[in-house]
Amino acid sequence: MKIKINPERLKTPIREFYLERLEDESGVSGTGVVARGVVLPSGRVVLEWESQITSITIYNSVEELNEIHGHHGKTLIQFLPKRRHQRRHTEKNLKGGG
């Protein structure tokens, strides 16, 4: 069985980010970088918490993540700059070089 790759999805790179908590309302996670994550080409978000007991959570969108964990601006989603190797990899796949 050969899997077909949707070339439109290859045009959308995976975006990396971290959650920066400015104020800890609950007193549980602290402040600073509290989680790291990626936004997939589908728009879904995978988040890994940076705590003693780590966990991974999947959200349907960045907006959903922000609604749950943004705490009305007290936690910021900080996107990292796009990496050079990521751009080359995406361009190579689009040209059929896999």
Render pLDDT for 49-73 as a digit per residue (tens, 0 to 9): 998 888 999 999 999 999 999 888 9
Which amino acid does the sequence have at 3?
Answer: I
Report the phi/psi class of residue 93: left, alpha or beta, with left for phi > 0 and alpha for psi in -120 to 50.
alpha
Domain coordinates in residue numbering, the chain: 11-93
For the whole prediction, is pTM greater than 0.85? no
- Looking at the chain, the whole-number percentage of residues with pLDDT higher than 70 is 85
